[in-house]
Structure 1
Amino acid sequence: MRIENTIVLVTGGARGLGEHLSRAFAREGARVVVNYHSSEERANALVQELGEDWALAVCADVTDAQQVRDMVARAREHFGAPITVAVNNALVDFSFNGDARPTLDTLTAENLTQQFEGAVVGGLNVMQAVVPGMAEAGEGRIINIGTNLFQNPVVPYHDYTAAKAALLSLTRTAAKDLGPQGITVNMISGGLLRTTDASAATPDEVFDFIAAGTPLGRVTTPEEFADTALFFASDWSRGVTGQNLVVDGGLVVD
């Protein structure tokens, strides 16, 4: 699969890591569907910058299956071809602020449910919506965004980490189901990225602590992380599925 002219969906693609993912794919000549939920102004500004022939902003709540199906149909109508790369990046209201996180004694079922619905239910809705078009095309790439926190919970974000761990399991079971149709399903897991909207509340000393324990001696940038998604979207990864690639400068060895 060539990235050039491929139709790529990036959920939560208007801000934070999602914006960097959208830019990385556009830079390589892909048509990008910039999904957003509440960031309409940023999504429209990004599309204007990338060019309306190359990008489309679509509002959809990924936890709503019908909204996701409508988004996929609109993208196909706009670009005249099915989505063949989908990046499940959307993050439900979360900030990497260790001081404000739910601790184990204050964690609630609602905290867990909110993150599970965003990561797992949202990811499932996207997969179910894009798979028919991928099967029609005879190939497809689904890329789920995970975290290295379930290998190294340097800060115990219980709800976020549990949801991403469940998404990794879904990644592997979906890879088994979809492989016969030429569709790969993989995960990219980052550590703390310097800096995104979600990590903006992280104190500098936390970044410095992580950098000190990382072989590369620095915290991974969102640009570096986004470039890894290009590998999983391309023919270079055509023999890879059901895998979790950790992109954190070598902090965690999976």
Structure 2
Amino acid sequence: MQIAEQIVLVTGGARGLGRRIVEAFAAEGARVVINYRSSSTAAQELVSRFGPQRAVALPADVTDPGQVSAMLERTREHFGAPVTTVVNNALADFSFNGDARSGAAEIGWDEFTSQFSGSVRGALNTMQACLPGMQEQGFGRIVNIGTNLFQNPVVPYHDYTAAKAALLSLTRTLAKDLGQHNVTVNMVSGGLLRTTDASAATPEEVFDLIASSTPLGRVTTPEEFADTVLFFASPWARSVTGQNLVVDGGLVMG
């Protein structure tokens, strides 16, 4: 299925990286569902840009399966067809500032629970809600957002990295389970992006250090990252599933 034929749900799609992913899909002609939890104004601004035939903004806390199911029902009512493609981008409240994060000696399990709920439970809820529609159409694309901190844990984001690692495992087990339905499941893992709402608190010297450490000599932008998400949804990736592609300018290789 071409991107222009797809109905794409982007969780946390009203701002930051999610917004750039929404814009990338819309630019390719897809119809987009802009999920948000509290960013109503930003979500509606995107709908105004693309028009109601191409975009709809729907609130839902992805950690609540009931809210996710209701969002999918409203999507089908609005577009007359089910979601074909899901980008699990929603992130529990988090600031990418290593100096402000809890270290190993003081981090509490509640911090892990928050991240696991947002990353893993949220992705599980959207997948389960979207799967009947994907099976109905004989086509589905699930793209999960990960991190290069798996391979390069230079900052003590213990809770965030552990949750994303669990999401990578879920990505691969889902890929094995859902391939029979022509549903692919992949992950795109970035490093620090310049700039999103979450990375706005990152000191400038950190960006400069990362840029100097990459072969490309610069920090990846949200727009560049979004391009790779498009790849996994496109026909060019029709035989790719269960993969984790790192998009960070070559900072982490392998």
User: What amino acid is aligned across from residue 180 of structure 2 in structure 1?
Assistant: P
Q: Deviations over 1:195-235 (max 9, x none)?
A: 00000000010001111110110000000000111110011
**1:6 CA drift (Å):** 1.1
Pairwise CA distance, 1:110: 0.2
| 2:93 aligned with 1:57 | no
Percent of aligned positions that are identical: 70
Is 1:204 matched with 2:204? Answer: yes
Map 1:92-241 to 2 at 5 A.
Answer: 92-241=92-241
Query: Does residue 90 of structure 2 align to residue 90 of structure 1?
Result: yes
Distance 2:245 2:195 in 1: 20
Alignment partners' CA distance in 1, 2:106 and 2:23: 38
Whether 2:15 is the aligned partner of 1:22: answer no
SS at match of 2:95: coil
Over 6 Å off, 4+ runs: none
TM-score of the two chains, using structure 2 as the length reference: 0.99
Query: 1-side partners of 2:193 and 2:153: how far apart?
Result: 15
Q: Which amino acid aligns with 2:253?
A: V
Separation in structure 2 between the aligned mates of residue 49 and residue 153 of structure 1, nearest angstrom: 39
For 2:76 and 2:154, locate their aligned partners in 1 and report how far apart those are by CA, in whole Å: 42
Partner Cα separation in structure 2 for residue 221 and residue 150 of structure 1? 20
Q: Which amino acid aligns with 1:209?
A: L
How far apart are residue 103 of structure 1 and its match? 0.7
1:81 equivalent in structure 2: 81
TM normalised by structure 1 equals 0.99
Q: Which runs of 5+ in 1 are unaligned?
A: none
Q: Which amino acid aligns with 1:62?
A: V
Shift of 1:131: 0.8
The CA distance in 2 between the partners of 1:198 and 1:37, in whole Å, is 15
Distance in 1, matches of 2:198 and 2:93, equals 9
Return the offset for 1:5: 2.9
Measure, in 1, the Cα distance between the counterparts of 2:123 and 2:82. Answer: 18
CA distance in 2, matches of 1:250, 1:131: 34
CA-to-aligned-CA distance 1:102-123 (integer Å, 9 cap, x gap): 1111110000000000000000
Aligned partners of 2:9 and 2:174: how far apart in 1?
18
Unaligned runs of 5+ in 2: none
> Is the partner of 2:246 in helix, strand or coil?
strand
One-letter amino acid matched to 1:97: N
Q: How far does the alpha carbon of each residue in 1:28-56 deviate from its partner, in whole angstroms, 9 at most, with x for none?
A: 00000000001011111111112111100
1:82 Cα deviation (Å)?
1.1
Q: Residue 238 of structure 1 aligns to which amino acid in structure 2?
A: R
